[in-house]
Chain A
Amino acid sequence: MGELLTLFLSTVLINNIILSQFLGMCPFMGVSKNRSSALGMGFAVLFVIVGSSIITYFLYHGVLVTFGLEYLQLITFILVIACFVQFTELFLKKFSPSLYKSLGIFLPLITTNCAVLAVALENITKKYTIVETLVNSVGVSVGFMLVLYIFSTIRERLDMNTKTPKAFLGNPLALITAGLMALAFGGLAGLI
C-alpha cells in the first residue's frame, strides 16, 4: 500500500509528466488560456489515459506476448488510443450529451497527446502489475490536470496585467512561467 502511495505521489508531483518529462506540451500551451478549458481537457485526458492504459496492458500481456509480437507494441498502442478516442466520442454523443458538450471539443486533441502513449509504454517497460498500472495512469493524469489548471489560472492573471512589455505578451511569458513552475515542482524532489 505504501509503495502505491509513493508511486501516486511521485507521478503527480515529482515526476510530473509535463514539468519534468516535458510530454504533453501541446495541450499545456494550447489549452491553458482559460480555466474551464483546462479543466475540461484535464478530465478528458484522465479518462483516456486510464482507459487506454488498462486496454494496452491486457493487449500486451494477453495477445502480443502470446504471439511473440512484443516489437509491435508502439504501433498497436497508437491504434488502441485512436480507437479509444473514437469510441469515447461516439459513446458520449449517444449517451451523455451534456458531457459531450463540455469534453467534445477536446477529445480529438487527445489522440495527438504524446503523454497518453508515454504512459501506456511506461507501464510495460517498467513491468508494472495491473494495480500499479492503474495507480500510475491515474497519478499521471491527476498531475497533468493539476499543472494544466494551475498554469491556466496564472495565464488568466497574466493576461489581465497591463504592465507586461509587448515583447513578452503571449507565448514568451507563458514559456517563462512554465519554466518557473518546473523549477518550483523540482523543489518537491526531496518529498519522497
Chain B
Amino acid sequence: MQAIGLVLVLGGLGSVYALLYYLNKNTPKPEGCEEIESSCSGCHITSCGHHPSHNE
C-alpha cells in the first residue's frame, strides 16, 4: 500500500512538473515581453535562469 502511494505521489507530481515545464516552454511570450530576460542586468542569484552568466 505504501509503495503504491509512494509511486503515485512522486510519479504524479513529477509528471505534473514535466507537463507544466513543457507547456510553459512552448507558450509564446506576450507582446512586449520578448525582451524581458535581456532587461535583467544580473543580481547575486546565479542559480536563476535569467542570470547573464548563463549566456556566456
Contact = CB atoms under 8 A, between A and B. Distances in A.
A and B bind: yes
Contacts of B32: 97, 101
A171 B44 CA distance: 10
Given A26-B44, A27-B45, A105 B36 contact: yes
A63 B33 contact: no
Interface stretch (A8-16, A45-53, A83-91, A115-123): A83-91
A172 to B, nearest CB: 13
Contacts of A109: 45, 48
B53 interface: no
Interface string B33-46: 10011011001110
A47 to B, nearest CB: 16
Interface residues of A, number: 34
A112 B17 contact: no
Interface string A147-186: 0000000000000000000000001000000000000000
A67 B9 contact: yes
B27 to A, nearest CB: 5
A186 to B, nearest CB: 25
A27 B8 CA distance: 34
A33 B47 CA distance: 18
A90 B33 contact: no
Given A75-B10, A86-B17, A67 B45 contact: no
A104 interface: yes
A82 B24 CA distance: 12
17 contacts: A26-B44, A30-B45, A67-B6, A68-B2, A72-B6, A75-B10, A76-B10, A79-B14, A86-B24, A89-B24, A90-B23, A93-B27, A101-B33, A105-B36, A105-B37, A109-B45, A171-B44
Interface of A: 26-27, 29-31, 33, 63-64, 66-69, 72, 75-76, 79-80, 82-83, 86-87, 89-90, 93-94, 97, 100-101, 104-105, 108-109, 112, 171
Given A66-B5, A86-B24, 20 more contacts: A26-B44, A33-B43, A64-B9, A68-B1, A69-B6, A75-B10, A79-B13, A82-B17, A83-B13, A83-B17, A86-B21, A87-B20, A90-B20, A90-B27, A94-B27, A97-B33, A100-B36, A101-B36, A105-B50, A112-B45
